[in-house]
Amino acid sequence: MQELAEYSSLIERKLSEFNFPNTPENLYDPLKYFLKLGGKRLRPVLTLLASEMYGQPLEKSIHAALAVEVFHNFTLIHDDIMDQAPLRRNQETIQVKWNPNIAILSGDVLFVKAYQLLILQEEQHLKELLEVFNRTAIEVCEGQQMDMDFEVRNNVTVEEYIEMIRLKTSVLLGCALEFGAIIADASVQDRMNLYQFGQNIGIAFQIQDDILDLYADPDKFGKQVGGDVIADKKTLLNLKALELSDEVSLGLLVNLKNETDLNKKVERTRIIYDQLNVKAACEVIMEHYYNIALMHLNKINTTESSKSILKQLARYLMTRTV
């Protein structure tokens, strides 16, 4: 979306202007490295858009926006340790390029940096911003813990999975938008509706992510199609397939876990999912959350034109191919 490029460039520029100390090198070099890896910068853009919707200039919300992005990066650094991920955006993760201890500690510092950014906001909003931020930070950790717990469980339900992605991913989108509303002194109703818009679009976005993993166009996707299937990851596709399976397809899916020909594993999984109409079932759930998100956006008490960029963004997130 071209309209968003100027907002994300602003975030990118501000991130590059961070003035980390030079020493200890092993603490700050990883952070300089990690923040240069790029990303969509979706979350901070949401904060900017929400406060701009009420006529606030971007300077008014920039620190809160950066706090959200910095917090998000902190969670990625710690998640990469927990997931033993070798790569992040096709570059080595901190725990590989340095080591896990350095990743723990530089992550901790980045978390403090988020709070340092947040308290640069006007003092009158500080307490409210911090309340929302603290609550969100704890929820994100709860979501990550649920995700780890799910790895060793065989009875995860679709409802539990949705709750996990709500906490791990979506509440931060809600928080980013709520920040904008707080800074713009929006009404309590608007604030709540913006939060709910963010949370529900976040859930829909994550479901879209799960679907794209197996159903993206390989030429456009930029990473291996079927990565979640190969890793036997619990996703909505996977849980929905188990829910819809009869004994025969269940047996086939269980057997596929041991398939060593990875192309065959992905291909056969897709065939079974298609027979079960898994993709359509997931799209129904995705649409459900997308519609809830739009309902909340419609309730917000500003002009249609000021809401249109958030509406476009929502539509864009749902129709992306990568």
Where do contacts with its own copies occur on this chain (CB under 8 A)? 24, 26-27, 78, 81-82, 101-102, 104-105, 108-109, 111-113, 115-116, 119, 123, 126-127, 130-131, 134, 137-138, 141-142, 144-146, 148-149
Element housing 54 (H / E): none
Q: Tell me whether strands 87-88 and 91-92 are parallel, antiparallel or unpaired.
A: antiparallel
Least distance from C-beta 106 to its own copies, angstroms?
8
Least distance from C-beta 127 to its own copies, angstroms?
6
Least distance from C-beta 288 to its own copies, angstroms?
25
- Four-residue CA torsion sign, 151, 156, 158, 163: negative
Nearer to its own copies, 164 or 211 (CB): 164
Least distance from C-beta 94 to its own copies, angstroms?
13
Nearer to its own copies, 151 or 274 (CB): 151
Nearer to its own copies, 166 or 270 (CB): 166
Least distance from C-beta 176 to its own copies, angstroms?
17
Q: Could you tell me the two tokens for 169?
A: 């991913």
Nearer to its own copies, 147 or 228 (CB): 147
Residue pair 46/67 in contact (Cβ under 8 Å)? The answer is no
Nearer to its own copies, 26 or 157 (CB): 26
Q: Could you tell me the two tokens for 56?
A: 């606030």
Residue 247 to residues 121, 196, 241, 254, Cα–Cα distance (Å): 57, 39, 12, 10
Per-residue DSSP letters for 231-244? TT---HHHHHHHHH
Nearest to 79, CA basis, from 199, 8, 4, 172 = 172
Nearer to its own copies, 31 or 318 (CB): 31
Nearer to its own copies, 139 or 228 (CB): 139
Nearer to its own copies, 151 or 287 (CB): 151
Residue 2 burial (10 A CB sphere; 0-12, 13-18, 19+): exposed
Indicate the Cα dihedral angle 82, 263, 226, 240, nearest 10°. -100
Least distance from C-beta 320 to its own copies, angstroms?
30
Residue 118 CB neighbours (<10 A)? 22
Least distance from C-beta 83 to its own copies, angstroms?
9
Residue pair 126/119 in contact (Cβ under 8 Å)? The answer is yes
Least distance from C-beta 216 to its own copies, angstroms?
29
Looking at this protein, which amino acid is placed at residue 240?
Answer: K
